[in-house]
Amino acid sequence: MFTVAACTVVVALTLAVARALKGPTVFDRILAGNAIGTGAILLLAVFGFLTGRPEFLDIGITYGLLNPIGTLAALKWFKYGDIARGFDEDTGEG
Amino acid sequence: MTDLLSLIIGGAFLLAGSFFLLVGALGLLRMPDLFTRMQAASVGETLGGSLLLIGMMIHGGFSLVTFKLVVLFAVIVFFGPVATHALARAARYAGIEPQLSTPPAGRPVGAPSAETAAKATKATKATKASKKARLTPAKARRKPAKKKARK
């Protein structure tokens, strides 16, 4: 069962990588990057169960905490051209 | 007996999670525009990932491994939708329009049809006028104070 799950996760990762290479806009690539991050977490967890070494889950938690931060930082960079700037008080856009 | 039961139920969860993950990844590759892709990918991540993790929790039993899986589950369930929301907002801010339907020939993708365009311009004119009336005095009051603060 874990073998099937691991194979599926690998296939899903491959499809996400294909979208990241193909993506017409930068947001498609960021979306694919986020999906790749989640797939990597799931692959780590499944692989830990497959080999009987649950230490992989700790690495998975670390990836899980870093993945959204990386996504949000990349989004902020492409939205404002600056990671440090907040939302604009004049227009209310953010 | 309970071992066999947990094996079967956990296996079913794992298979269901794999299915949704695969469907989400296929949607990510095959869908026509950014927002539909985003929807497919977030379903694959949130539903598929959480079903996989629940299956592993059932396999793991009552132990430290299960606690780690619960933490991972919370991280995926909370941060996945937040990242998707931020992505949709940033894409709209950058000017990417959702493709609402397949347009007839001769009209570029994403352009509104004639009657909806006329309606939209009327509506925006009206709202723009009312917004101007509301917004200008406040802005005029705010701007000098801001300049002082920046100096």
User: According to the model, what pLDDT value does residue B7 have?
Assistant: 86
pLDDT tens-digit map of B139-151 = 444 444 444 444 4
End-to-end CA distance of chain A: 45
The residues of A whose Cβ lies within 8 A of any Cβ of B are 1-2, 4-5, 8-9, 11-13, 15-16, 18-19, 22, 25, 27-28, 30-32, 34-35, 38-39, 41-42, 45-46, 49, 54, 57-58, 60-61, 64-65, 67-68, 71-72, 75, 78-79, 90, 93
Residue A80 tokens, joined:
């404002």
Residue B138 tokens, joined:
């406040």
- Domain annotation covers residue A86: no
- Domain annotation covers residue A44: yes
pLDDT confidence tier of residue A10, bands split at 50, 70 and 90: very high
Region A53-70 average pLDDT? 89
CA distance A47 to A39: 12
Residue A21 tokens, joined:
């290479």
Higher-pLDDT residue of B140, B97: B97
pLDDT tens-digit map of B7-54 = 898 899 999 999 999 999 999 988 888 888 998 888 888 999 999 999
**Is residue B79 classed exposed, middle or buried when 0-12, 13-18 and 19+ CB atoms within 10 A define those classes?**
buried
Taking the Cβ of residue B94 and every Cβ of chain A, the question of whether any pair is shorter than 8 Å is answered with yes
CA distance A38 to A26: 19
Residue type, B25: A
On the question of pLDDT at B135 being above 50, the answer is no
Residue A24 tokens, joined:
């017409």
CB A56 within 8 A of CB A65: no
CB A31 within 8 A of CB B37: yes
User: According to the model, what pLDDT value does residue B145 have?
Assistant: 45
Helix-helix angle B64-93:A56-80, to 10 degrees = 10
**DSSP letter assigned to residue A57:** H
Closest to B49 measured CA to CA, from B23, B85, B27: B23
Q: C-alpha distances in angstroms, A64 versus A37, A59, B24, B32?
A: 8, 9, 19, 28
Region B68-73 average pLDDT? 91
pLDDT confidence tier of residue A55, bands split at 50, 70 and 90: confident
On the question of pLDDT at B111 being above 70, the answer is no
Residue B137 tokens, joined:
């005095």
Find the closest chain A residue to B9 by CA distance.
A1
End-to-end CA distance of chain B: 75
Higher-pLDDT residue of B144, A3: A3
Does the pTM exceed 0.80? no
User: According to the model, what pLDDT value does residue B110 have?
Assistant: 52
CB A63 within 8 A of CB A40: yes
Domain count, chain A: 1
Residue A46 tokens, joined:
């499944």
Region A22-37 average pLDDT? 89
Residue type, B70: V
- Could you list the residue range(s) of the whole structural domain that residue A27 is in? 2-80
On the question of pLDDT at B97 being above 70, the answer is yes
User: According to the model, what pLDDT value does residue A80 have?
Assistant: 72
pLDDT tens-digit map of B55-67 = 999 988 888 889 9
User: According to the model, what pLDDT value does residue A87 have?
Assistant: 59
Neighboring chain A residues of B59 at a CB cutoff of 8 Å: 49
pLDDT tens-digit map of A63-90 = 999 998 888 888 888 877 776 766 555 5
